């Protein structure tokens, strides 16, 4: 009988050790094999976040002892915040405006505030491009009144960008025919002439806009100085941006726009040393980021805190202080 009890106790003890070894996500905890699992929440496979996330996974796996990082395709910023909050991702790609809403409990996070979100680094500008076809006769943002305008999917980051920019220009949704369309739906409808203009939040040049420009002469609608100043004074996470001439076929002049910033974020509970190593090795392997996507060349420590809209994680703060930034 004593042997049976001893055997049972041994099984229970081994099970307890196994469960303890599979420690929680979001803290940088190790698995039973000493590995540090890093699930990177990115975006759609055709976007910018996904290839950069894959490059980061490769960098961290090669340069951080025990790292086991993988990039996951997701619904991007808003979905990623929820994955982080639920402990289903360790690192997320997110727009700095969405991170701001998350931390402060505003906009789409009005009833879902998450104060434990922390920044690792800002990466590159995501420009709000307002595109139309030349045959629509729209040359300024005021010309959008009465037009069918795609503002992004309902509740998306793009939709919030569109509403805030229109507000700064003195235009409400009552002044336009609002079309809640996703990125791809907006591009297809503009190509087919079913809508008059579309808001697109993405790094330029954007493949979908290039595709429209290959079939129709396009116009990027510029923002006037007053609209830009009004917008930035109310929403400081925006920055003034100039889209250079010839970014798209037929675009012969520079166009003034505004941008938000793509950034990386983690939980406040995430391990400080791991966060430090992730930021450090990311910047030490910029060639791999550039190989993954053109915007990789914009990911530098000199701009890593520009537009940071939430508190920095202590691990990231340690890195930037170390390099004098």
**pLDDT single digits (tens) 222-254:** 999 999 999 999 998 999 999 999 999 999 999
Is residue 299 domain-resident? yes
Q: Are residues 109 and 167 in the same domain?
A: no
Is residue 8 domain-resident? no
Is residue 7 domain-resident? no
Predicted local confidence at residue 50, as pLDDT: 92
Q: What is the pTM of this model?
A: 0.81
CB contact set of 290 (below 8 Å; sequence gap of 6+) = 296, 297
Predicted local confidence at residue 296, as pLDDT: 95
CA dihedral sign of residues 232, 236, 238, 239: positive
Is residue 111 domain-resident? yes
> What are the backbone angles phi and psi of residue 261, rounded to the nearest 5°?
-115, 135
Is residue 232 domain-resident? yes
> Is the Cβ–Cβ distance between 69 and 61 less than 8 Å?
yes
Here the tokens at position 4 are 């049976």
Here the tokens at position 148 are 């069918």
Is residue 6 domain-resident? no
Q: Are residues 144 and 266 in the same domain?
A: no
CB contact set of 198 (below 8 Å; sequence gap of 6+) = 130, 131, 132, 149, 150, 181, 186, 187, 189, 190
Which residue ranges in the chain fall short of pLDDT 70? 1-33
Is residue 83 domain-resident? yes
Predicted local confidence at residue 2, as pLDDT: 53
Q: Are residues 282 and 233 in the same domain?
A: no
Count: domains in the chain: 2
Q: Domain containing 95 — which CATH number?
A: 3.40.190.10
Predicted local confidence at residue 28, as pLDDT: 63
- Residue-range definition of the domain harbouring residue 197: 126-259
> Is the Cβ–Cβ distance between 77 and 310 less than 8 Å?
no
* Closest to 114 measured CA to CA, from 82, 92, 90: 82
């Amino acid at each position: 009988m004593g042997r049976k009890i001893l055997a049972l106790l041994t099984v229970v003890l081994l099970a307890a050790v196994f469960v303890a070894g599979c420690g929680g996500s979001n803290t940088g905890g190790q698995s039973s094999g000493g590995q540090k699992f890093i699930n990177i929440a990115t975006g759609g496979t055709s976007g910018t976040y996904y290839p950069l996330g894959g490059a980061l996974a490769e960098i961290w796996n090669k340069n951080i002892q025990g790292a086991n990082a993988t990039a996951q395709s997701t619904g991007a910023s808003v979905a990623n915040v929820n994955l982080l909050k639920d402990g289903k991702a360790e690192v997320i790609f997110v727009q700095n405006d969405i991170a701001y809403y998350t931390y402060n409990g505003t906009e789409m996070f009005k009833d879902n505030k998450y104060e434990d979100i922390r920044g690792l680094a800002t990466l590159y500008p995501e420009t709000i491009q307002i595109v139309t076809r030349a045959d629509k006769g729209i040359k300024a943002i005021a010309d959008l009144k009465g037009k069918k305008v795609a503002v992004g999917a309902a509740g998306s980051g793009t939709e919030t960008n569109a509403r805030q920019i229109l507000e700064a220009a003195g235009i409400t949704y009552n002044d336009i025919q609002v079309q809640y369309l996703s990125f791809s739906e907006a591009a297809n409808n503009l190509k087919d002439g079913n809508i008059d203009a579309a808001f697109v939040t993405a790094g330029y040049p954007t493949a979908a806009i290039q595709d429209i420009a290959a079939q129709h002469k396009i116009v990027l609608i510029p923002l006037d100085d007053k609209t830009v100043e009004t917008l930035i004074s109310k929403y400081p996470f925006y920055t003034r941006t100039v889209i250079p001439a010839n970014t798209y076929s037929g675009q012969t002049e520079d166009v003034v726009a505004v941008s938000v910033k793509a950034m990386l974020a983690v939980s406040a509970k995430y391990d400080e040393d791991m966060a430090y190593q992730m930021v450090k090795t990311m910047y030490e392997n910029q060639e791999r980021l550039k190989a993954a996507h053109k915007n990789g060349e914009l990911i530098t420590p000199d701009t890593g805190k520009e537009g940071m809209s939430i508190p920095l994680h202590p691990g990231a703060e340690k890195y930037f202080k170390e390099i004098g930034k």
